[in-house]
Structure 1
Amino acid sequence: MQQGYVAVLWVLAVLVVETTALGECELAHLLQHKLQYEMHLQYMKHYFPIGYTVQVQYKEVLRPSNITCLRNRTVSEMALQYLWLHVSSQAVLRIHEVLPEKHPSWKYTQELCQLFDALGKEYSKYWQTDVEVVVADLVKLIHSAGMESRRKAVHPKALLDNCLKVMRMLYRAPCWWEST
């Protein structure tokens, strides 16, 4: 039993180390695998007290309907991916920050943060100039001091549900994955 556990940990460690050499689709696929329903159900619902919520700004909850509205406003896919990456990485970071290091979900959220960081590095060369005004304004709005009072309580699992749904919307076509 312990040998199998050690082997899984070794594979995860190798994957995290190699993420700096992976491309956009490979990193998105690793995130999709890490965000599988069973995993985030276990780590974000079963390991938390019933009714536990995290305080996030209203604009930090990115749903598929938000993406559809922005697509209707002809926002580019690259800009939508930037918005998704920014909002989702902030949501995971907020969850990670409230967890004590010995919490069963701490390592899981740390691994998600590392994957988001690696994906952000992959895109950084494009985003410095190509972020559209609408998306740049949304990101600024999230970071503005005036939004601090507009917070809402969201279940950690709901944040990751939205993260996964939006990711599948944005990456399925360019990366040719199944929605399993």
Structure 2
Amino acid sequence: MQQGYAPVLCVLAVLGLEAAALGECELTRLLQDKLQYEMRLQYMKHYFPINYTVQVQYEEVLRPSNITRLRNGTVSEAALRYLWFHVSSQAVLRIHEVLPEKHPSWKYTQELCQLFDALGEEYSKYRQTDVETVVADLVKLIYSAGAESRSKAVRPKALLDNCLKVMRMLYGGPCRWEFT
């Protein structure tokens, strides 16, 4: 670690503030660039049939209102980022799985999957026992595609729209982004 960062990190730790790791900021910035409106429109709407939907679990749709409600329930920012990562990576994977390799959106979703894989390395240090129970339970539901979970038909673009909106809510401040 560079010497210039040590005092800043100490101050943040003392104040109890949670900051996104530098790796998270860089990777989510790359994701933000990949999720530009024009790209989402082209790859997730224009290249799909009209009204095309993907079946996802109800818990795999994460909207800004969900984040606001969880924040009001005093869920930590780190836990919210952990939840966003798992929900969004699963949503991108669901979209990617329905595409044949020759589909014009296949490479785009493959690149998104690779960025989420790299981000997963950042989150590999978290354990579900380290985050609030409500978030750990939601993450378990996402990966337990059992019969008891409810499914929902969602447009691919809507999934990525939510992914970007929530990502900006969670990372825009700590990572000091300029929104494009």
Paired residue for 1:138? 138
Residues 44, 156 of structure 1: 8 Å contact kept: yes
Instruction: Give the distance between the partners of 2:138 and 2:23, measured in 1 at CA.
Output: 26
Spell out, residue by residue over 1:110-157, the C-alpha distance to the aligned partner (whole angstroms, 9 max, x if none). Answer: 000000010110121134552211100111122331434x11110000
Spell out, residue by residue over 1:63-111, the C-alpha distance to the aligned partner (whole angstroms, 9 max, x if none). Answer: 0000000000110111000100000000000000000000000000000
C-alpha RMSD of the superposition: 1.3
| SS state at 1:152 partner | strand
Alignment-mate amino acid for residue 108 of structure 2: Y
Paired residue for 1:15? none
Instruction: Give the distance between the partners of 2:148 and 2:90, measured in 1 at CA.
Output: 15
For 1:124-163, list aligned pairs within 5 A: 124-127=124-127, 129-144=129-144, 145-148=146-149, 150-163=150-163
Paired residue for 1:91? 91
Instruction: Give the distance between the partners of 2:32 and 2:165, measured in 1 at CA.
Output: 10
Instruction: Give the distance between the partners of 2:125 and 2:140, measured in 1 at CA.
Output: 19
Residues 57, 147 of structure 1: 8 Å contact kept: no
Spell out, residue by residue over 1:11-46, the C-alpha distance to the aligned partner (whole angstroms, 9 max, x if none). Answer: xxxxxxxxxxx8111101000000011101100000
Residues 56, 154 of structure 1: 8 Å contact kept: yes
For 1:17-166, list aligned pairs within 5 A: 23-127=23-127, 129-144=129-144, 145-148=146-149, 150-166=150-166
Relative to the length of structure 1, the TM-score reads: 0.84
Relative to the length of structure 2, the TM-score reads: 0.84
Q: Which runs of 5+ in 2 are unaligned?
A: 1-21
Alignment-mate amino acid for residue 147 of structure 1: E
Instruction: Give the distance between the partners of 1:146 and 1:55, measured in 2 at CA.
Output: 14
Instruction: Give the distance between the partners of 1:51 and 1:151, measured in 2 at CA.
Output: 17
Of Structure 1 and Structure 2, the greater helix share is in: 1
State how many pairs are aligned.
158
| SS state at 1:23 partner | helix
